Amino acid sequence: YPLNSPSHLVVEGDWSNAAFFLVANALGSQVNITNLNPYSRQGDRKIIDLISHLEPMQEVDLSQIPDLMPILSILAAKRNGAVFTNIQRLRLKESDRVQTVQEMLRNMGVQTSITGNTFTVFPGNFNACTVNSHNDHRIAMSAAIAATTATGQIKITNAECVSKSYPAFWEDFSKLGGNYEQ
C-alpha cells in the first residue's frame, strides 16, 4: 500500500516533562508553559487536575500515570500529603521508584510509608540534603523542583541522567531562575 505523509503535522507538548514545571508553578514559581494540548490523549495531562484538586491525604491511583509519582510526591509533601495506590509498576522503572522516591523524601525530611501496594507521603518541608538520583531522570528532576522551596541546598548525584528524557532540563531550569551548578 502506498503511504502518504501528512502535509502539515503539529506535535503537541510533552505532558510528562511539563509536569515538573507545572508543579514548580504550584509551589510558587512563575513558569510560562506553552504547547500543551488540554485535550491530549497523553495520560500525564492528569497532572493539571491533580494540581488543582489535590485534597489532604487524597488517594491517587497511579495505575495509568506511574511516571507522575516522583513529582506528585513533591507536590503532596508541600501540600497536605497523599496516598498513592497501584504502585507496583513503579518498581520496574529506571530505578525502583517506590524506594528511590521514599529515600529522596526522607533525605529531605519528609515522612513516608509503604504498605503493600500503597505509598503514603505526609506533609512536610524540604531540608538541605543530598539526593541520589539512582540514574533515574524523574528523581533528579523532582529533586530539582523540590530544591526551589527547600530551606537549604539540595545536591543531586548523577544529575546528568535527565538527558534520557529531557536533555535541556538543566539549561531550562537555569533560564527560569533555578540555581544549578555542576
Owner of C-alpha cell 502535509: 7
Distances (CA, A) of 16 to 35, 159, 162: 13, 18, 13
Going through 36-177 in order, the beta strands assigned E by DSSP cover 58-61, 82-85, 112-115, 118-121, 129-132, 154-157
Which of 44, 67, 96, 172 is an active site residue? 67
User: Whole-angstrom Cα distance, residue 158 to residue 129?
Assistant: 15
Q: Is 67 a catalytic residue?
A: yes
CA distance 11 to 18: 14
Distance between CA atoms of residues 179 and 38, nearest Å: 30
Joined grid coordinates for residue 174: 537555569
User: Where do we find the cell 508541600?
Assistant: 78
Say if residues 105 and 132 touch (Cβ distance below 8 Å). no
User: Which residues are part of the catalytic machinery?
Assistant: 67
